[in-house]
Chain A
């Protein structure tokens, strides 16, 4: 069974640009959640999607958005990039969702904003 796949693995952007990250969950998993990891703040929850609906959202500005498609693949978008958005972005998939069982994480997308 293939694991969680995130693309791209690495990317470099400049301030003001926007970026789209992709996450393909494990087959059969309907929940996809996104996290930002930085050395100072650790892992922080961005949002969770379940069956194409955003179920929960963390405390991030509206520049951070996401969506989920009918095949459960998810994308997150960050607009008007700031230097502080440099981070490792992780997605996780689960059969049911947060708190209800094991979450499987992808390898992450490392974003550098210059």
Chain B
């Protein structure tokens, strides 16, 4: 059965800290892995990863995929209170569905 596991489930840090969020997966016929940020209702897209070892960057956020070890990490440097959110990892499953992890709730304290 396809599955996505995120860790940690929650994390509290102070502004300026660097955090690493983890996402491991077991999916037949992997095609892509996506990261989303959910603050209140609508998840917003962060990254889509398809190739192993290629880092995607957007400002203070970056992500990389390891297809051999079946995981991805999302890094956030110099965290700000506005980074507080639930970060969701999703993988396209073998049947064309999208499988989400339970998410990591990040709280950034001033």
Contact = CB atoms under 8 A, between A and B. Distances in A.
A108 B41 CA distance: 7
B99 interface: yes
Interface residues on A, range: 20 to 34
A12 B103 CA distance: 27
A99 B42 contact: no
Contact of B100 (A4, A42, A97, A106): A42
Contacts of A98: 92, 96-98
A108 B42 contact: yes
Contact of A105 (B44, B93, B101, B102): B44
Interface in B71-110: 88, 90, 92-93, 95-103
A48 B99 CA distance: 13
Given A90-B42, A102-B48, A105-B44, A44 B32 contact: no
B98 A99 contact: yes
Contacts of B92: 98-99
A108 B39 CA distance: 13
A104 B45 contact: yes
Nearest to B6: A42
Residue in A43, A45, A48, A58 whose Cβ sees the most chain B Cβ within 10 Å: A43
**CB-based closest 8 A-B pairs:** A99-B92, A43-B100, A56-B96, A105-B42, A45-B97, A42-B102, A107-B41, A102-B45
